[in-house]
Every structure is written in C-alpha cells, then in structure tokens.
Amino acid sequence: MVPDVIPLCYRAAPPGREILITSESRRGISGPPRTLHEGGPTGRRQVRDGDGSRRLGAAELDAELGERATLVQFSSAFCQPCRATRRTLSEVAAMVAGVAHIEIDAESRLELVRALGIARTPTVLVLDAAGRIVRRAAGQPRRADVIAALGEAV
C-alpha cells in the first residue's frame, strides 16, 4: 500500500500497534484508527483518530461538556507548550458556539491519565456532544488542526 500523502515521519509503531500513517492517506482504507507522528515548528506532535468507543462524562472530568463539542487538555505545571495550547484551545472554544475547553492537571488526576493512556503533556482530546473521543493529539496543536478536529466532532 502506497499512501497518497507522505507523512513527515514514517516509521513502524511499537509492538501491538498499527503502522503510523496520516489520516489523509487512509482514504478508502477501512480498519482501526491509525496514528500519525509529525514534526512541526513546535516539536513532535502525535495525532490519532479517536475510536469513538470511549466516552467521558461531566462527572469524570469534573466539568460540564460543551453543547456541541469539548476540548479536553491534559497539562502539567511546568509544561511550556501547555500554556500555548491553553491559549489556542481557549481562543478556538470562544470562536465556535457550543464548544467548551476543559484543562485538567495531569499530576492531580493520575487515575484518569492512566485510564486514558496519556503519556505526555499537553495531550488534547476532542469530544463530541455525547462525550465520545473523536480525536486525540499529543503535543502543541496548531489552531487550524484544532478547528479541523472540531469539524469531525460537531
């Protein structure tokens, strides 16, 4: 299989995981979600399609979900990219009606972090109105990527 979009970084995944390819290269391909590792001006980001099977509720997040979608950010105290991510997500949430931004301190919510398999900060989950994870990204996201991910959620 030759992808029609060549990712910036193409390598095999750890044992038990899929091959890392861009979501654009999946056109016409069925099967489980894929992961993309890409290097950008802000460093290395990991973006993954959500599988839609995991739902997060207001009680689990200790905050109300947005009417249309929710941007959930896992951060840590001394994480510089987390601050920039907070600004980006807050701006996007303010631009799009019915979208909420929730920031969670990863250190104080270790049980949730472990349950979701979050390995680094910042990690952003995009939830639809029902709380299903539709997109997941590790690293500082670009505004355009966040808006595109919201398009899948609403």
Instruction: Describe the strand order of the beta sheet including 133-138 as a list of residue ranges.
Output: 35-40, 43-49, 133-138, 123-128, 69-75, 99-105
- Taking only the tens of pLDDT, the chain with its 154 residues reads 433 333 333 333 344 443 333 333 333 434 444 444 444 434 444 445 555 568 899 999 999 999 999 999 999 999 999 999 999 999 999 999 999 999 999 999 999 999 999 999 999 999 999 999 999 999 999 999 999 999 888 8
Q: State the pLDDT at residue 25.
A: 37
Q: State the pLDDT at residue 50.
A: 55
Q: State the pLDDT at residue 31.
A: 44
Q: Which domains does the chain have, with CATH numbers?
A: 1-40 (no CATH), 47-153 (3.40.30.10)
